[in-house]
Amino acid sequence: LIIGEHGYKHRLLDSRVMPPFITPTRYALSRRIRTRDSDICFSSYPKSGSTWLSYIIFLLTDSASARDTIQSSLIWVESSWTYLRSEAEVEAASEPRVFKSHMPYDMALGGVPAENKGRYIYIARNPKDVVTSYYRFESGKSWTGFYDGGWEHWLGMFVDGKVQRGDWFHHVLSWWEASQRAENILFVKYEDLKRDTTAEIRRIAEFLGKSQLTEERMTEIESKIGFEEMKKDKFSSLGDVKEFNQFFRKGEIGSWKDQFTVRQSEMFDQLCEERMSGSGLHFDYE
Ligand code: A3P
């Protein structure tokens, strides 16, 4: 375990920065999972809308009602924390098994997603909102060692890929590139889901083989996954863990504007230009 400036805790796994609760044993288990045709595995860099996506998946596959909450329904193999399940429980979980992960493509659940059975969905969000949301979420939390370094310091760590979960650019681009080649990987953007909710839910439904869903059911699903609705919903509540309260913070595009200075914003734009040009991947920032 590494304890850096401001008490910031992380672990190195395959030379990558990870939170302390991603243990080598759990990670090894996540890599050797043999996925099945019915499996749905979603991944994201933290704070990119993964809880939102997971609820959409549970609703589309009609598995939200039969189970308790998002937290108890998800299988998050690499984590040794509250979502812990044994290998036997992972095997025996009811189908479709819905796997959560925050790993980059080369550390993904099940080895090499493009060669696996099952469907993978990756959700990405513009990095200015990600680093802002991540800062609000991680400051003062037990798993970060109650980090109190402040925004400027956080931004510097994010840019250097030193926050838990490491380099955002590598994470997102690794999945983006894989999704361009593999039919079993769907790449979703938070901003599209926010702006074009109906069309994006249809795209996800189609990918999951659920395009036969009625208009009525689609409207019902859409009414449940709005920010305010999800915040109140029993299924999407994240249980008793108080530290989770910021899973529903603002739910908007562009809240980075309350956080970045003009100079920081210009520096960040320049960085995005350098790291992402030629990738064909673009984000909306407002
Ligand atoms: P903000 O902190 O910007 O509000 P994750 O689930 O991957 O940790 O992502 C959390 C982010 O998704 C938070 O962003 C949260 O508010 C936002 N979010 C959660 N549910 C949402 C919803 N139904 N609609 C829009 N945004 C949502």
- 41-87, pLDDT tens digit by residue? 999 999 999 999 999 999 999 887 666 788 888 999 999 987 788 99
Does any domain span residue 285?
no
Candidate list 6, 102, 153, 171, residue with the active-site label? 102
The model's pTM is 0.96
Residue 54 Cβ inside 6 Å of ligand 1? The answer reads no
CA of 231 to the centre of ligand 1 (A): 10
Nearest-CA residue for ligand 1 atom 8 is 47
Write the CATH number for 198. Answer: 3.40.50.300
- Is there an atom of ligand 1 within 6 Å of 51 CB? yes
Number of domains in the chain: 1
146 — pLDDT class (breaks 50, 70, 90): very high
Residue 96 belongs to some domain of the structure: yes
Ligand 1, residue 255: give the atom nearest the CA: 3
The finding on whether 167 has its CB within 6 A of some atom of ligand 1 is no
62 within a domain of the structure (yes/no) = yes
Taking alpha carbons only, the member of 214, 218, 222 closest to residue 197 is 222
Tell me the torsion sign for CA atoms 262, 172, 192, 71: negative
Q: Decide: 204 and 138 in contact? Cβ < 8 Å.
A: no
- Ligand 1, atom 2, lies closest to the CA of 133
ipTM for the whole predicted complex goes beyond 0.95: yes
Checking if the pLDDT of 112 tops 70, the result is yes
Contacts for 211-218: CB closer than 8 Å, 24+ residues apart? 213/60
Cβ contact 34:91 at 8 Å: no
* Ligand 1 pocket member 254 (CB < 6 A): no
Cβ of 225 below 6 Å from ligand 1: yes
Task: Establish whether 102 is a catalytic residue.
Answer: yes
Supply the residue whose CA is at minimum distance from atom 20 of ligand 1. Answer: 52
pLDDT at 198: 95
- Please tell me the predicted confidence (pLDDT) of residue 209: 97
286 inside domain: no
Whole domain around residue 111: which residue ranges?
Answer: 2-276
Q: Report phi then psi at 189, rounded to 5.
A: -110, 135
- At 243 the pLDDT is 67
Tell me, in angstroms, the distance from the centre of ligand 1 to residue 152's CA: 22
Task: Give the residue among 121, 117, 114, 109 at the shortest CA–CA distance from 30.
Answer: 109
Residue 274: its pLDDT value, please? Answer: 97
Number of Cβ within a 10 Å radius of residue 249: 15
| pLDDT tens per residue, range 232-283 | 887 776 666 666 666 788 999 999 999 999 999 999 999 999 999 999 999 9
Quick check: is 25 in a domain? yes
Answer whether residue 137 shows pLDDT above 70: yes
Q: 247 CA to middle of ligand 1, Å?
A: 6
Q: Is residue 282 one of the residues assigned to a domain? A: no
130 lines ligand 1 (CB under 6 A): no
Q: Which atom of ligand 1 is nearest to the CA of 123?
A: 7
Is 281 inside a domain boundary?
A: no
